[in-house]
Structure 1
Amino acid sequence: MKQREVTDKHNTTWTCAQAYAALESEAAEQAVAKSETADGNVPVVCTPSGGAQTVRLELAKDWFDNLSDEELAQAIQAAQ
């Protein structure tokens, strides 16, 4: 499973991964395809290292490679 870590301005480290991406089966592939929105966004779950709550984001399909750490941290902050 591909994960990204980002640290926000409060020094909380977040681990983010696309929902369903860790599963390896035909059903998982279908879940990933069905979870994509009409805008081409995918659900991403970010889990904090500290006391903050997990957040669920909808990001562009290419978020893993093309979203900067700062943009990812801002998306997390906006979702809290």
Structure 2
Amino acid sequence: MTQREVTDQDSTQWTCVQAYAGAMQDEKTAEAATELASNGNGKVPVVCTPSGGAQTVRVELPKNWLEELPDEELLAEIKAAQQNGQV
């Protein structure tokens, strides 16, 4: 399971992983799950868990979020999800 970690301005470390990715045993199956989980506009569900007292959030990100989404944009998506109560 591939995950990504980012730290916000409050020093909270967020660990983000694509939903359903942990259940996949091989890359081909993981890619198929990504296609199935995609919401039709090129985005996939991602769950981000904080290191501190904040609550886990769920965000919709582009399929290439692991490699290409800048940290600042990922943190902005997390903050927006917190404000909108997307848990």
Determine if the alignment matches structure 1 residue 74 to structure 2 residue 84. Answer: no
Alignment of 1:1-80 (within 5 A): 1-24=1-24, 31-80=33-82
Unaligned runs of 5+ in 1: none
Q: Secondary structure at the match of 1:22?
A: helix
Deviations 1:46-79 (A, max 9, x none): 0000000000000000000000111111110111
Two-structure CA RMSD over aligned residues (Å): 1.8
> Residue 52 and residue 38 in structure 1: after superposition, are their counterparts in 2 closer, same or farther (change >3 A)?
same
Distance in 2 between the 1:12 and 1:56 partners? 16
Identity between Structure 1 and Structure 2 (%): 59
Distance in 2 between the 1:23 and 1:3 partners? 13
Q: Secondary structure at the match of 2:16?
A: strand
Which protein has the bigger helix share? 2
Deviations 1:16-74 (A, max 9, x none): 00000111259876654322111010000000000000000000000000001111111
Unaligned runs of 5+ in 2: 83-87
Following TM superposition, the consecutive aligned residue runs of length 4 or more in structure 1 with deviations greater than 2 angstroms are: 24-34
Aligned residues: 80
